[in-house]
Structure formats: C-alpha cells, structure tokens
Amino acid sequence: MVNDGLIIKGNKDGLNAVIDMNKFKDFDDMMNFLRTKLSNGKRFYKDATFVITIDLNLINERNVSKLKEMLFNDFLIKECILDDSKEKTKKSFSGIYEGRTKFIRNSIRSGQTINYSGNLVIIGDVSPGAEIFAGGNVFVFGSLKGNVHAGVNGSKKSVVGAFVLQPQLLEISGVLTISPDGEKPKYPEIAKIKGDTIVVEPYLPDKYF
C-alpha cells in the first residue's frame, strides 16, 4: 500500500507524521491507512510521543477524538500532539484544535507543573496545587481544581474549559480570577476574556469549535 499523503518518520523523541488529507477519500480512509502503516511496528510505539502535522481545518472534534483513541488504545501512544500545517498563516488561537495541540492522558497531581507553548488537552483531573501553563487554550476532560494560565503568550482569544471548572486561580493573557464560593454547576463550562474581565459560560460546542 503506497500513499504519499501520509509520511511517518521516527526520531529519539518519538514519531512524526505529515498527513495530507487531500490525498485521501475521507477521514476514515486516512485512518485505515494510518492503522495499517503503524501496525508494522506496533511494539515500538508504547509510551512514545506522536507529533502529527495536518491541516486542522479539514478535520473536526469527532475526528480528533477518534484519532487519539486509536493511537492511545491500539498503539499505546503516550502523548499525541497535533501541529497545524497552516499555523504559520495564523496570528492567534481561536479554537481548541487551531494551532499546536498537546494531549495528556493522565491526571495532574498536586506539585506537578505542565508548561506548553500551544493548546493543552488534559484527559483527567487537575488537582489542587497543580499548575498548568499554555500559550493557547486549556481543556480538561475532568475536574480542574489547580492553577491554570492560558494565553501566556498574549492571546486574549484563548479559553479555559473543563467538565468541572473550579480552579484555585485562573489566568488568561494576564487577566486573573479565582473561583467563587458556593454551589458549583453540574455541567461543563468555558472561561474567556470579555472586556477587561474573565467571564464563565456554559460549554456550547458550536460556539467554540
């Protein structure tokens, strides 16, 4: 099977793949080709970091979830980083999958610090006492109860979202806030800058993706 729309190279840090979606019939066609190609060296990929360069405008949230599920579960990839092939033409982040995105598939414990220049997606919880820094957006598929700093490179369009948004401290592009006391909502929320303050809204997928 030969297709120049998908090129994979290995290095000391893990794997790098360049994917041209225009060379495939659809996303499922690309997934099948990628699965076949990775199956040849499956035993070498455990705990590796996989950096994928792709035009993120050509895939959606469901596609990304399906891709990382395959990499994490079938090939035991430790981290999946999506690098936008069109990133050089963009000046700011305006969505979770726009720009370089790093996926972390574990909870962040008290005392741990995560620092990344692009978007961060954490599949787990962020405990009180943990610290998160991201140049773009931060999304936590779990409880966010530590300190989070998004848009540290100055992007006021960055957002912070979580299934349970209860940070000790939340900062977006230099604007700070803390969680109010009282009963917390039982639905995902998004924090963003509006004017000179941070506002928190219910998570509406169509609004942010």
Model confidence pLDDT, tens digit, residues 10-62: 766 678 889 999 999 999 999 999 999 888 777 777 888 888 888 888 998 88
Provide the pLDDT for residue 182: 63
Provide the pLDDT for residue 79: 82
Under the banding of pLDDT at 50, 70 and 90, the label for residue 3 is: low
Is 154 exposed, middle or buried, given 0-12, 13-18 or 19+ CB atoms closer than 10 A? exposed
Same domain assignment for residues 85 and 107: no
Higher pLDDT, 124 or 95: 124
Same domain assignment for residues 131 and 204: yes
CATH code where residue 36 lies: 3.40.50
Same domain assignment for residues 24 and 76: yes
- The helix (run of H) or strand (run of E) holding residue 52 is strand 49-54
Provide the pLDDT for residue 87: 61
Same domain assignment for residues 204 and 115: yes
Domain that holds residue 160: 101-208
Contact (Cβ atoms closer than 8 angstroms) between residue 8 and residue 37: yes
Same domain assignment for residues 82 and 121: no
Rounded to whole angstroms, what are the CA distances from 43 to 30, 77, 142?
Answer: 21, 11, 30
- Convert the pLDDT of each residue in 140-170 to its tens digit: 999 999 999 999 988 888 999 999 999 999 9
- Convert the pLDDT of each residue in 61-97 to its tens digit: 889 889 988 988 888 888 888 887 776 444 444 445 4
Which amino acid would we find at residue 86? K
Same domain assignment for residues 110 and 200: yes
Same domain assignment for residues 76 and 141: no
Tell me which of 23, 56, 89 is where a domain ends.
89
- List the beta bridge partners of residue 131: 113, 147
- List the beta bridge partners of residue 147: 131, 169
Same domain assignment for residues 18 and 77: yes
Provide the pLDDT for residue 88: 44
Provide the pLDDT for residue 90: 46
Domain count, the chain: 2
CATH code where residue 162 lies: 2.160.20.70
Residue 22: Cβ within 10 Å count: 8
Same domain assignment for residues 106 and 187: yes
Report helix angle 27-39 to 61-74, nearest 10: 10
